[in-house]
Structure 1
């Protein structure tokens, strides 16, 4: 489990370093997640027959399960933000609601188009 946590933190660190040194507009943890995902894909491509009781690194699956178990804790900062910025939310509710609705509809439409494209491409 320590190995899995170490891999996750090293990927996040690498993402932070890349984001800050290259002045990227993407947060470091997102870049780290992409690095981890890419490394797992490459590992499967170059060693597809290697036995894997776990997702590759000992303990990575355990750490991921533990983090997902406590995922609800990540919503606490969002709840605090709603309470703290309540007056601004009350003042700007209409444009924010419109932006949320339009953003949600665009996301659903784009996801559907990508799914259609991939289904046609896969056969």
Structure 2
């Protein structure tokens, strides 16, 4: 029953993300709204990590299964994708490097700030 409750919380947040997508006229996927909402709920303590931990871990563990449909789509539409393969590879490489660089810089900033905050407390 615990897993049903946890999964229900995750699904409720996902549904609210879907509703927000239709209420807010921005080109943002509903999954992003749901992720941001879940983050806010977790940070504010409205939803505790223990309230969704096991179901969240399960969903992360089965995530590779979710990419099977994408892989099949690539195989099915290979002729159409072949014509734009070079731009796709370049865009994928550049965006991956950019995300890694920004994530690294943000992490370094947070670590420095946390160390500074800890040293100020002492």
Match of 1:103 among 83, 86, 95: 95
- 1:35 alignment counterpart: 37
Match of 1:73 among 65, 71, 91: 65
Residues 40 and 56 in structure 1, CA contact (< 8 A), matched pair in contact too: no
- 2:105 alignment counterpart: 113
Which structure carries more relative contact order (alpha carbon 8 Å, separation 6+)?
Answer: 1
Give, in angstroms, the shift of residue 67 of structure 1: 1.6
- 1:91 alignment counterpart: 83
The answer for unaligned runs of 5 or more in structure 2 is 116-122
The answer for unaligned runs of 5 or more in structure 1 is 45-51
Q: For the aligned residues, what is the CA RMSD?
A: 1.9
Counterpart-to-counterpart distance in 2, 1:112 and 1:7: 31
Greater fraction of residues in helix: 2
- 1:48 alignment counterpart: none
Number of residues of Structure 1 aligned to a counterpart in Structure 2: 112
What is the DSSP-based 3-state SS (H/G/I as helix, E as strand, rest coil) of the residue aligned with 1:38?
Answer: helix
TM-score when scaled to structure 1?
Answer: 0.78
List 4+ stretches of structure 1 deviating above 3 A.
Answer: none
What is the DSSP-based 3-state SS (H/G/I as helix, E as strand, rest coil) of the residue aligned with 2:67?
Answer: helix
Structure 1 residues 66 and 105: alpha-carbon distance in aligned structure 2, compared to 1, 3 A threshold: closer
TM-score when scaled to structure 2?
Answer: 0.79
